[in-house]
Amino acid sequence: MLTIDILTLFPGMFPGVLGDSILGRAQERGLVAFGVHDIRAWTTDKHHVTDDAPYGGGAGMVMKPEPVVAAIEAVRSHHGGTAGPVIFLSPQGRRFDHARAQRLASLPQFTLLCGRYEGVDERVFLGGWVDEELSVGDFVLTGGEIAAMAVCDAVVRLVPGVLGNQDSAPNDSFASGLLDHPHYTRPEEFRGLGVPEVLRGGHHAMIDEWRRREALRRTLARRPDLLDRAGLSDKDREILREIQGQEAQQQ
């Protein structure tokens, strides 16, 4: 079972997301457990203060190191030898991607630290209490909570047994290095738009070929940067040249 601990100043943000849909069912089936911890529980003053003004002046407040480190140490102590990495959600971190989600899904436990305000006192990092920083994109959120939810969702669906159909995750966008192919369902025609003939023919080899071609086409159009590291076959490259040739004729 995978255990994900979350350290936050706003624990009330999590029950709805973690308790519903796939994440909720994963908990019910004993495949994953979440521990949401209020950092204020580790303050020592009567007002439960977790932030203070920055040294040197400037706008905003900074999360104090004492309660953050105490919370991290408590979680690590609880898990003992199975304690995994402590990850700070930050726009300054490395980009979170499918490969990192797979790595986290293979662990017995990891901890997500949600920042707020102008961030966390740098000594939390200098002292080695945080193992890595992850970013969910090149934008700034009001805190790390929404980013932590995204990480939880991306990771948990990769835990074996979580998805009803185990073929779903390997076929997702980014799992193969490409964006996903288009999907269709009933009705066969909707407001003059039909389902591609190949998908209605029942020829599985032709369907697989169509899906691969469309995944390549979509990736080329929307995220061509992914193609450089997608591990393309000679057949894939041939298909891409055909697509590029077709598009050049249409221009």
Active site residue 157: yes
Measured CA to CA, the distance from residue 197 to residue 201 in angstroms comes to 6
Q: What DSSP string runs through 38-100?
A: EGGGG--STT---EEPPTT--SS-EE-HHHHHHHHHHHHHHHGGG---EEEEEEEEEEP-HHH
Active-site entry in 25, 40, 100, 157: 157
Q: How many secondary structure helices (H) and strands (E) does the chain include?
A: 9, 9
CB atoms within 10 A of CB 142: 9
Partners of residue 172 on adjacent β-strands:
none
Active-site entry in 66, 118, 132, 180: 118
Active-site entry in 51, 133, 153, 172: 172
Active site residue 172: yes
**HEC secondary structure over 95-123:** ECCHHHHHHHHCCCEEEEEECECCCECCH
3-class secondary-structure state, position 134: strand
Q: What six digits make up the tokens of 128?
A: 């080695």
Active site residue 29: no
Active-site entry in 85, 91, 133, 180: 91
Active site residue 118: yes
φ, ψ dihedrals at 33, nearest 5°: -135, 140
Q: Which residues contact 112 (CB under 8 A, 6 or more apart)?
A: 4, 5, 6, 7, 87, 89, 144, 148, 151, 152
CA 153 to chain centre: 6
Q: Which residues are catalytic?
A: 91, 118, 157, 172
